[in-house]
Amino acid sequence: MVAMTSAQAELAESSTTSQRMEALEMLVTSLMNRVESQEAAIGEWETRFDELAEDVRSVGALTTETASTMAMEVKLLKRAVGGFSEVAVAVKSRTKVPEPKKFSGKRSAKELENFIWDMEQYFATVGTEESHKVILTSIYLEGDAKLWWRTRVDDDAAAGTPKIVDWEVLKRELKDQFFPTNAAWQAREALRKLKQTGSVQDYVKEFSSLLLDIKNMSEEDKLFKFTTGLQTWAQAELRRQGVKDFPGAIAAADSLVDFKTSSSPSEGKGKEKKQFKTHQKKGEKKPFSPKPAAGSKPAPKSDPRPSSSSSGKGCFICNGPHRARDCPKKEKLSALIAEDEGQPRMNPLQLLNAIQQAKTSPSEGIMYVDAEVNKKLVLAMVDSGATHSFVADHMVGKLGLDLVENSSRMKAVNSEAKRIQGMATDVNLKVGSWEGKINLMVVPLDDFDVILGNDFLHIGSIALMPFLRGLFMMNKSHPCFVPASNTIAGKESTKLSHLSPFG
């Protein structure tokens, strides 16, 4: 029993050893497989590393070649840019630049600022170097300015002070020396005293010139001072046009036409006759004796009347030795022509005398004029009592008008207010030689097709002249006279009730 047990123990021990050996062999085999796979991976990585190294060497060679090519291109570009700058300098040097006006040292803010600005533009155009600007500027100084600069250079040299070589420093020194410190004050004082004594254009020019020296005046003050300096009629015209700002006032005033009454030739002749008569006293005998006594010399006597001869002797008609009143050719002289020293000038108001029209009796009827609305001929009634211009509703389609909505209402006399049917804006209108655009309110009208109101008279600068039976267009570009009629194709004129639109 004991023997069997020991045998079993040996058998069990031997089987355990065998199993361990088998397990060990399997482990060794697994390790060998792993080693082989690692060796294969290492070989693969070595191959990749060799390929990568080859790629790096290729890229390095390519980079070197590219850098060499770029270096050559940079050299070529530098040469090209250098050649271009030389050409540009050559072309620039050939450009003829006008030289700036010299500065004489006048204490005027405008002249000094203009001189500095001209010098800077000149430097920029000719390409002056910074170190040469001061020397070049000193060449364009004259009079007191040149004397000041010479004295300043000598004083700096004597005191051991560094010379002025910077352009900005020179500008500051010029302003300290020649720029008037009270320029703005003087300009304000002159602006306060400025009044229109001549034409409106001269007043606008003088006002604008003084305003250049004032930097901090508000737009409201500019408008007030400009308006109060105008003559009364010009102020009234600006108020009528509803000018609200200073630029608008300048534009409106510059477009005004000066109306001045010039003396007629008959008045001038009357004055000459009056002056001539004052030289001869009442009851004075005529001083000239045509036949002096024999053996005696005639005493020199002055003739009060004008003569063409500077010495006062002889006839100015035939240059004979006798007086002009005794000239045998006196009856051939029909008129004396005198030339005015000044340039002949026509009074604008006298242009109305050139209007030729058959004499007609003044009419109290409504005035109609031929007008073109959108290039379609209509007979329009002109009414200075209408605040706006109107068109009948049945004419909208015929005239091809485009309407927009409008909230205005129309009220006739003894009737309630009714809303208008619409508004036609920027409608092309032609009356005579005047052309422009106008807004037309569309309302029901029985007796009229188109009514031209105060807005038309204002836009076209038109004067309504019932006594001439027509319109006087005072537009500067197309002045003309447009005749009017007081009937429509023989129909008696109809009186219009007052129309008053309101929003």
How confident is the model over 158-174, as pLDDT tens digits?
A: 888 888 888 888 888 88
Q: Return the residue matching tokens 């009419």.
A: 363
Helix (H, G, I), strand (E, B) or coil at 8: helix
How confident is the model over 309-339, as pLDDT tens digits?
A: 444 557 777 777 777 777 766 655 544 444 4
DSSP E strand stretches across 374-486: 376-382, 390-392, 403-404, 409-411, 418-419, 422-431, 434-443, 450-452, 462-465, 470-473, 480-483
How confident is the model over 94-142, as pLDDT tens digits?
A: 567 788 888 888 877 778 888 888 888 888 888 888 888 888 888 889 8
Residue 269 pLDDT level (bands cut at 50, 70, 90): very low
**Residue 76 or 5, more confident:** 76
Percent of the chain with pLDDT over 90: 0
Nearest to 224 by CA among 251, 254, 246: 246
φ and ψ at 485, to 5 degrees? -125, 165
The identity of residue 362, as a single letter, is: P
pTM here? 0.32
Largest CA distance in the chain: 218
Mean pLDDT of the chain: 75
Residue 55 pLDDT level (bands cut at 50, 70, 90): confident
How confident is the model over 149-206, as pLDDT tens digits?
A: 888 888 888 888 888 888 888 888 888 888 777 777 777 888 888 888 888 888 888 8
Nearest to 441 by CA among 487, 417, 410, 416: 410
Q: Is the pLDDT of residue 76 over 50?
A: yes
What is the model's pLDDT at position 330? 64
Percent of the chain with pLDDT over 70: 71
How many C-beta atoms surround the C-beta of residue 373 within 10 A? Answer: 24
What is the model's pLDDT at position 11? 60
